[in-house]
């Protein structure tokens, strides 16, 4: 724009302002541009500043001079760059104060109340949340809870406090952040140690720790479950066989072995001695081997033989009053019979045992001899012989 044009427009503006008293227009002064962010202040400093512009507005009919003055906005001075560059601009911004009107205050108060309520609720929420370590049967875990006491915590986690052997602290004890709650206590163990069964209680959580606490020598022992197996609240059944020294005598030789065998038969096998056929041991093969025990192996052989044997006849006597007393008459001769007998011949370590009868078969039945004895009166000087009978 040229200087002449600017002078002309300024003259027209002055003419309108001077005539305002007669025409009654409102004079409005448009404020200068708002302050810009600090990152734009270099650009702003490079631009030429503009002065306020005068604008004519038609006054509303019936509007008084006081009303027109109230409608007219205030004049804001043009923004000038603060001395000192960016640092000066920041210091000037800190010095400025923002005025809040009543309408803005009415809008800000509810918002402030909501923010305060949310902040208070969040604070209460954080204050009620507690980090607690819960150890159930030796398995600790850290969890967050709003429970007030130990009983509520256990119910929240599904742990039956009534079935637990021990709860520490007690279920009604209040809990706080960082507390440790332990559920466990002594557990029942049905222990069979070297063939002897008994019931014991332990506070240990694993089989290996329980055996150490009970003083059981587990080195080289047989365990029915792993040493690392956990012992739950309901307990478990445990079979332990410790190592023992067993001496086995077989075939004229002595064999000594360290074993955790469950039976004498198994101990003999671990000694390198085999049992064949009807071989057995001096103690029951299925019995439990004791420490320091000596077991003899019995080598047994058996054989079966059949023998024919005589069956002697029997003598049957009957009385006859037709014969004088003291007289006997053989009415029928006897005859021997025969039978076949099967025997088992048993040999133990080369020594023959008494034969054992297994079966019998009669080949010929024996015939009894019949003799009649006289019961009549005696005769003198004469021998009475029934006809046809041998004297």
pLDDT for res 189: 93
Structural domains in the chain (count)? 4
* Residue position matching structure tokens 């034969």: 355
- The reply to whether 202 and 258 lie within a common domain is no
Residue 29, beta-bridge partner list = 54
- The reply to whether 214 and 230 lie within a common domain is yes
Residue 321 belongs to a domain: yes
pLDDT for res 201: 87
- The reply to whether 168 and 135 lie within a common domain is yes
CATH of the domain at 224: 3.10.20.30
Give residue-wise pLDDT tens across range 195-216.
899 999 888 888 999 999 889 9
- The reply to whether 255 and 289 lie within a common domain is yes
Q: Is 32 left (phi over 0), alpha (psi -120 to 50) or beta?
A: beta
Interstrand relation of 293-298 and 280-281 (parallel, antiparallel or unpaired) = antiparallel
Look at residues 231, 197, 184, 195 and name the one whose alpha carbon lies nearest to residue 211.
231
pLDDT for res 17: 40
pLDDT for res 231: 86
- The reply to whether 261 and 293 lie within a common domain is yes
pLDDT for res 91: 61
Q: Which structure tokens are listed for 325?
A: 């007393």
3-state secondary structure at position 83: coil
- The reply to whether 366 and 313 lie within a common domain is yes
pLDDT for res 364: 93
Q: Cβ distance 295 to 249 under 8 Å?
A: yes
Distances (CA, A) of 109 to 88, 97, 119, 121, 339: 34, 19, 15, 18, 129
> Residue length, the chain?
391
> How many helices (H) and strands (E) would you count in the chain?
9, 21
Give residue-wise pLDDT tens across range 270-307.
999 999 999 999 999 999 999 999 999 999 999 999 99
pTM, full prediction: 0.44
Residue 223 belongs to a domain: yes
Residue 123 belongs to a domain: no
Percent of the chain with pLDDT over 70: 63
- Domain span holding position 223: 187-241
pLDDT for res 46: 39
Give residue-wise pLDDT tens across range 307-325.
999 999 999 988 888 888 8
Residue 16 belongs to a domain: no
- The reply to whether 232 and 259 lie within a common domain is no
Tell which of 298, 318, 334 closes a domain: 298
pLDDT for res 283: 93
- The reply to whether 317 and 331 lie within a common domain is yes
Tell which of 230, 263, 298 closes a domain: 298
Residue 37 belongs to a domain: no
Residue 342 belongs to a domain: yes
Q: Which structure tokens are listed for 19?
A: 């005539």
* CA–CA distance, 191 with 236 (Å, rounded to integer): 9
Q: pLDDT tens per residue, the chain (391 residues)?
A: 444 444 444 444 444 444 334 444 444 444 444 454 444 444 334 344 444 444 444 444 454 555 555 554 444 444 445 455 555 565 665 555 444 456 665 666 666 665 555 555 544 444 478 899 988 766 788 999 999 999 899 888 888 777 666 788 888 899 999 998 888 778 889 999 998 999 998 888 889 999 998 899 888 899 999 999 988 878 899 999 999 999 999 999 999 999 999 999 999 999 999 999 999 999 999 999 999 999 999 999 999 999 999 999 999 988 888 888 888 888 899 999 999 999 999 999 989 999 999 999 999 999 999 999 888 887 665 555 555 555 4
Tell which of 226, 241, 256 closes a domain: 241
Residue 145 belongs to a domain: yes
Q: H or E stretch including 140?
A: strand 139-145
CATH of the domain at 321: 2.20.230.10
CATH of the domain at 248: 3.10.20.90
Residue 40 belongs to a domain: no
- The reply to whether 142 and 175 lie within a common domain is yes
């Amino acid at each position: 724009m040229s200087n002449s044009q600017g002078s002309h427009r300024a003259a027209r503006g002055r003419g309108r302002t001077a005539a305002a008293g007669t025409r009654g227009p409102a004079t409005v002064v448009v404020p200068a541009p708002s302050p810009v962010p600090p990152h734009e202040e270099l650009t702003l400093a490079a631009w030429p500043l503009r002065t306020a512009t005068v604008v004519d507005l038609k006054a509303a009919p019936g509007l008084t001079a006081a009303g027109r003055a109230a409608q007219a906005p205030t004049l804001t001075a043009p923004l000038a760059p603060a001395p000192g560059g960016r640092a000066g601009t920041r210091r000037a911004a800190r010095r400025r104060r923002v005025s809040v009107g009543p309408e803005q205050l009415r809008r800000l108060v509810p918002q402030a109340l909501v923010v305060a309520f949310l902040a208070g609720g969040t604070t209460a929420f954080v204050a009620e949340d507690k980090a607690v370590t819960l150890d159930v049967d030796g398995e600790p875990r850290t969890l967050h809870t709003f429970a007030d006491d130990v009983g509520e915590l256990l119910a929240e986690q599904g742990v039956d406090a009534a079935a637990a052997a021990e709860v520490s602290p007690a279920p009604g004890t209040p809990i706080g952040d960082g507390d440790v709650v332990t559920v466990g206590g002594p557990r029942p163990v049905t222990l069979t140690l070297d063939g002897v069964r008994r019931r014991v209680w332990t506070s240990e959580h694993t089989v290996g720790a329980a055996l150490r606490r009970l003083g059981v020598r587990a080195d080289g022992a047989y365990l029915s479950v792993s040493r690392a197996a956990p012992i739950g609240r309901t307990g478990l059944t445990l079979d332990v066989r410790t190592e023992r020294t067993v001496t086995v005598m077989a075939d004229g030789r002595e064999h000594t072995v360290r074993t955790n065998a469950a039976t004498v038969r198994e101990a003999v096998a671990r000694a390198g001695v085999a049992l064949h056929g009807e071989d057995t041991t001096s103690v029951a093969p299925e019995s439990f081997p004791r420490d320091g025990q000596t077991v003899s192996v019995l080598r047994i052989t058996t054989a079966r033989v059949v023998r024919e044997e005589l069956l002697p006849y029997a003598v049957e006597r009957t009385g006859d009053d037709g014969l004088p007393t003291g007289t006997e008459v053989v009415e029928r001769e006897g005859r021997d019979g025969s039978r076949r007998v099967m025997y088992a011949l048993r040999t133990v370590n080369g020594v023959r045992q008494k034969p054992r009868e297994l079966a019998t078969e009669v080949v010929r039945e024996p015939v009894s001899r019949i003799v009649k004895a006289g019961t009549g009166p005696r005769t003198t000087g004469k021998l009475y012989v029934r006809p046809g009978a041998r004297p």
